[in-house]
Amino acid sequence: MEEIKKTLVEMLKLKHTHSNKSTRSSDSQNGEGEQMEIEIDMNSKEAVKGFGIEQQLLGQNEADVQREKSRKVKVKSLRPNSDKLKTLNLRYGANTISYTVCSSLQGVQTVTGFMYFWPKDANIIVSDVDGTITKTDFLGHVLPYFGKDWSQPGIAPLFTNLRRNGYFILYLTSRPIGQSQQTKDFLQSVYQDGKMLPQGPLVMSPDRMLPSVKREIVYRRPELFKMAALKDIRSLFPADHNPFHAGFGNRDTDAISYKSVGIPLEKVFIVDPRGDIHHHKCTSIKSYALINTMLKELFPGMVKDAKEKLAECLNDENVLTLEDRRSIEENTMKIVS
């Protein structure tokens, strides 16, 4: 646009100089300048009409507009859009996904994880890891290395029954992403009364060790990461459905994080190192084992279509035993038929 304006000004100067060639010397003697300053409204057709460049100018403007419209802007993103997700043919539940990179030093390296496909009306129970599934924060990091079980008693049977009732379990921790495999191995190692912790997404801090430790120990603000992560997950679901149903933690900051995404305080359970549950209303809830006996009152089963329930149970291997899955399959087939 600036080049067009300069061209127009030069043509105006040239035309003005040529038309006043005969009077230029007399004007110069009278002290008047040879050049004149011209202001041009580039949006006005009359401003350029009569100088023989109206069509050229407008044509270039239209070409610029069309060029801007047709130009595709590519933005790098770590999140696939809906069209890209549809091409993955995801199945209900957990889907294995692999990332492969080639390095001249280490050769081909592959990182494997899970992508979870949940219904839009899912009801999610959020659980902290350190001090909630483990008895304490620090020893929960160290003792599993030496084969010592440092998990809270009753946590695996409770979460298994919650999953059976139709709730989805999401594990949320401020541990740095570098401890991902260690944390997954610990969650899979918890085995109590013949039950394992149900499979579910593990959301961790994307920061390295030092920033994560500084946020948790120095600043004592772990809720900053957890609130942002929960709100990000909340945005994946419809606006008229809050997927977060309840939360388990071991600090007041966990309650703050859960409340920020709409979890009511009566659905927030805080556990201390002795395994005692603190609830802001009900003082009779003292342990995970006691909550397990009150599931009908606190976490009633979700009513689901028989086929959907079957697919959910068969895909989630950590919820039911092989005999349980066969029994459900037989009973469900009878209901469906």
Identify the pLDDT of residue 284: 60
Q: Are 324 and 163 in contact (CB under 8 A)?
A: no
- Secondary structure E strands in 128-225: 168-176, 191-192, 195-196, 202-205
Q: How far apart are CA 139 and CA 130, in angstroms?
A: 9
Q: How far apart are CA 310 and CA 320, in angstroms?
A: 11
Contact 163, 312 (CB under 8 A): no
Q: Is the pLDDT of residue 59 over 60?
A: no
Sign of the Cα torsion 286, 292, 295, 299 reads: positive
Is 289 a residue whose pLDDT tops 80?
Answer: yes
Collapse the DSSP code of 275 into the 3-class scheme (helix H, G, I; strand E, B; otherwise coil) and give the result.
Answer: coil
Count of Cβ atoms closer than 10 Å to residue 284 Cβ: 8
CA nearest 262: which of 282, 238, 246? 246
In the chain, where does the domain assigned CATH 3.40.50.1000 lie? Answer: 121-303
The string of DSSP letters for 174-188 reads EEEGGGHHHHHHHHH
- Does residue 234 or residue 78 have the better pLDDT? 234
Quote the DSSP letter at residue 134: B
Buried-exposed string 166-188: b where 16+ CB fall within 10 A, e elsewhere = bbbbbbbbbbbeebeeebeebbe
**CA nearest neighbour of 85 among 97, 72, 68:** 97
Contact 204, 173 (CB under 8 A): yes
DSSP bridge partners of 101: 109
What is the per-residue pLDDT for 255? Answer: 92
User: ∠173-304-285 over CA atoms, to 5°?
Assistant: 50
C-alpha 162/C-alpha 195 separation (Å) is: 12
Q: What is the DSSP letter of 239?
A: T
Q: How high is the pLDDT of residue 176?
A: 85
- Give the pLDDT band (50/70/90) at residue 33: very low
Least confident of 77-91, 184-198, 309-323: 309-323
DSSP 8-state symbol, 151: B
Q: Is 323 helix (H, G, I), strand (E, B) or coil?
A: helix
**pLDDT mean across residues, the chain:** 75
Tell me the C-alpha distance between 145 and 136, whole Å: 15
Q: Which residue has the higher pLDDT, 130 or 37?
A: 130
pLDDT of residue 88: 87
d(CA 337, CA 332): 8
Measured in whole angstroms, the distance separating CA 258 from the mean position of its chain's CA atoms is 16
DSSP 30: T
Residue 321 has pLDDT above 60, yes or no: no
CATH 3.30.450.90 for the 121-303 domain, yes or no? no
**What is the Cα–Cα distance from 51 to 8, expressed in whole angstroms?**
8
